[in-house]
Amino acid sequence: MSRTVTRRRFIKTVAGVSVAVPAAVVAARLADRYGLLPPDHDGLFGLGTSLTYASQRLLTHGQPLAREFGRQQISRNFPAINTVMPEDGDYRADIAGGFQNWRLSIDGLVAHPTDLSLDDLRRFPSRTQITQHICEQGWSAIAEWKGVPLSVVLTAAGIQPQAKYVFFTCIDGWWDSLDMADVLHPQTLLTYGMNGSNLPIPHGAPVRLRVERQLGYKHLKYLSTITVTDSAAEWGKGKGSEGAENGYSWYAGI
C-alpha cells in the first residue's frame, strides 16, 4: 500500500510541478506585458516585491488619493534624515543666491525638453496637501506640502506614449525612478513649500518629490534632473533605483 501511495504522490507531485512552473512563467510574462513587473524583480526577494507591486498596482488602478489631514494634525517635529545639507559647491552658492540659478532639467521621452527655474515651477497651478510621511524605519510625521503636480509639468513638456518610467537625479547624487501610475497620480508633487514656508534645506530645498502612496525613501530631496524613459536598463544595474542596488526594494508601497 505504501508503494501505491508513494507512486500516487509522485504522480501528483510531477503533475503539480508541471502545471505550476509554466503557470509561473506565463504569469511573469503577463505581468511584464501589463507593466506589473518591477525593475528589481530578480531573485527570491524579487518574488516578494513583484507580488506586492503587481497586486497593489491592480488594487490602486483607479488612482485613489492618499489620506489628507487637518492642520491641527501637523507634526511639531518633522525628522530630517539622510542628506540634510548637500556637500556640492554649487548648492552652497545656490543657497546664497536664493536658488535663483537652480534649474530642474526635463529630458528624455518628452516633446519639449526644458530647464525650469523655481519661478517657472511656481507659475504652474499648485496643489497643497496635508499628508503623512511614513519612513521605512517606523516613524511617521505629518506636514503640509505645496507644489506643482508632476503630471502637470510633464504633460506640458509632452510625455511620449512609450514612456514607462521617470528617473530623477538629485544634487546629493542620489537617483531613483517612478512608474507612470505614480508619476500621473494627482498627489505626486514637485514640492517647493512646507507648512506655509519655502521648503527648508534639511527637507530638500529647493524642490523635493512627494509620492504619497510610497514610503519616505521614494520622496527624493534636492531634485536636479527628470528623465522620461521607456526602460530602466540603462540606469545603474537596471534595478530602477540606487536604493534597490543597496537592498531596498524599488517599489515602496508597503
Partner 1 sequence: MIVQHGSNDRTLPRHTVLVRVTHWINTVSFLALMISAVAILLAHPRLYWGESGGYGSPALIELPLPLNLDQSGWGRNLHFLGAWVCVVNGIVYVISGIVSRHFKKALVFESRQVWDSDLPPYTSLQRWSYVCVIFVLFPLMIATGLAMSPAISTVFPIFVQLFGGQQSSRTVHFFAAVALILFVIAHVVMVYRNGFRTRMRAMIYGNSAAKETVQ
Q: Which residues bind partner 1 (CB under 8 A)?
A: 44-45, 47-49, 51-52, 56, 59-60, 64-67, 69, 73, 75-77, 79, 132, 134-142, 212-215, 246-249, 253-254
Q: Are 127 and 148 in contact (CB under 8 A)?
A: yes
Distances (CA, A) of 218 to 9, 25, 94, 230: 47, 30, 24, 20
CB of 57 to partner 1, least distance (A): 9
* Distance (Å, whole) CA 166 – CA 91: 23
The residues, ordered by sequence, that sit 6+ positions from 172 with a Cβ below 8 Å of its Cβ are: 83, 86, 87, 88, 221, 222
CB of 229 to partner 1, least distance (A): 23
CB of 23 to partner 1, least distance (A): 14
Helix/strand/coil for 24: helix
CB nearer partner 1, residue 89 or residue 247: 247
What is the residue type of 236?
G
CB nearer partner 1, residue 8 or residue 123: 8
CB of 243 to partner 1, least distance (A): 8
For residue 145, list its beta bridge partners.
129, 194
CB of 249 to partner 1, least distance (A): 6
Q: Are 179 and 53 in contact (CB under 8 A)?
A: no
CB of 253 to partner 1, least distance (A): 3
CB nearer partner 1, residue 52 or residue 117: 52
What is the residue type of 231?
S
* Distance (Å, whole) CA 122 – CA 141: 25
Q: How many CB atoms lie within 10 A of CB 172?
A: 18
Q: Classify residue 43 as left (phi > 0), alpha (psi -120 to 50) or beta.
A: left
CB nearer partner 1, residue 72 or residue 89: 72
Q: Classify residue 222 as left (phi > 0), alpha (psi -120 to 50) or beta.
A: left
* Distance (Å, whole) CA 120 – CA 164: 25
CB nearer partner 1, residue 64 or residue 200: 64
CB nearer partner 1, residue 78 or residue 124: 78
CB of 119 to partner 1, least distance (A): 31
CB nearer partner 1, residue 63 or residue 160: 63
